[in-house]
Structure 1
């Protein structure tokens, strides 16, 4: 997701949490897309670039193919609101998330997720992406955070079992393995149907 705006009047107000954020959203146009990052609502660029959408779609499809072969109740979904229980001031929208069919009682945010992925855009700051990555990792059931570039073939994979150390993949034939999901693919598959592949 690309962040393009912050609500300017928020600087002097206390940090927002989910209930106030949802009230804030109800007062906004349905054409606007917002997420809550550390208590501050942030508007996302709409629509994302075609390349951004293709990369997200490739990842979603490859994850779902692997999860279906595995016979699990988990599935990948795009543009999903996520909740980290210990962070009521953090309600992001991930480009791709892996959740299961236990949706819980929250109609807007998945309270249990196993992977969160972000496709970078020009408007993303390093601080914004780092904050999202760290908050995703705080979720007790999250196993992976993926950061995918849309300007070059490059994916960062951050894994709980690797103590959240990031691994960077840059060669088209680099193989990305997410064994808990039965997922294995070459980096190039994530960039299929783009000029980068």
Structure 2
């Protein structure tokens, strides 16, 4: 059998999308520094929190006839070799066709044990390089704790740690209650 030859060059975005198109829909892949990375299946709490965010933001968008939309699972092309997939993102509501964008304005990641280091370090830096991004929000799934990094503040960290705290999202003109973000998680 021998040792197979591995292509030493990084995978590019086009190769990545061709690769993921042939994968099952329930797999969540990201392209990080030219390497395709398969993420573990999200936990129940992770999914509840992500669903809460989508529902809250979708309701707000409908009520305000927003020019933006909140969606899960869309790749964000940061470069030819980087296509991370935030848990939830906000982007212009222009009926995007396809599986990627490069114009998100807010990114949300729900921390998982397997991705926490990447989410807090690599993604924070990588997303900050995207000119359209105004805010990166990291949500813990094992405690009521949200950390926000805002472009206007030089991506300095702001923490929200009580159920009564309000996460402000100034680029879309709203605040989200942590009580609502963590609804039905058993953490309140």
**TM-score in terms of structure 2 length:** 0.88
Q: Is the 8 A contact 2:111 2:119 kept in 1?
A: no
1:39 matched residue in structure 2: 34
* Deviates further, 114-123 or 15-24: 15-24
Q: Is the 8 A contact 1:158 1:167 kept in 2?
A: yes
1:77 matched residue in structure 2: 71
Is the alpha carbon distance of 1:176 and 1:54 closer, same or farther for their aligned partners in structure 2, counting shifts above 3 Å? same
1:93 matched residue in structure 2: 85
| Structure 1, unpaired ranges of 5+ | 1-8
Is the alpha carbon distance of 1:112 and 1:152 closer, same or farther for their aligned partners in structure 2, counting shifts above 3 Å? same
Q: Is the 8 A contact 1:137 1:164 kept in 2?
A: yes
Matched, 1:54 2:48: yes
Q: Across the two proteins, how many residue pairs are aligned to each other?
A: 185
Higher relative contact order, structure no. (Cα contacts within 8 Å, ≥ 6 residues apart): 1
Q: Is the 8 A contact 1:103 1:111 kept in 2?
A: no
Matches within 5 A, 1:1-197: 13-46=8-41, 48-84=42-78, 87-103=79-95, 107-197=98-188
Q: What CA distance in whole angstroms lies between the structure 1 residues aligned with 2:170 and 2:13? A: 33
* Deviates further, 16-25 or 135-144: 16-25
Q: Is the 8 A contact 2:109 2:119 kept in 1?
A: no
Which consecutive segments of 4 or more residues in structure 1 shift more than 6 A? 9-12
Q: Name the SS for the 2:30 alignment partner.
A: strand
Instruction: Report the Cα offset of residue 168 of structure 1.
Output: 1.0
Q: Is the 8 A contact 1:103 1:110 kept in 2?
A: no
Q: What CA distance in whole angstroms lies between the structure 1 residues aligned with 2:135 and 2:52? A: 17
Is the alpha carbon distance of 1:137 and 1:70 closer, same or farther for their aligned partners in structure 2, counting shifts above 3 Å? farther
Note the aligned Cα RMSD (angstroms): 2.2
| Structure 2, unpaired ranges of 5+ | none
Q: Name the SS for the 1:94 alignment partner.
A: coil
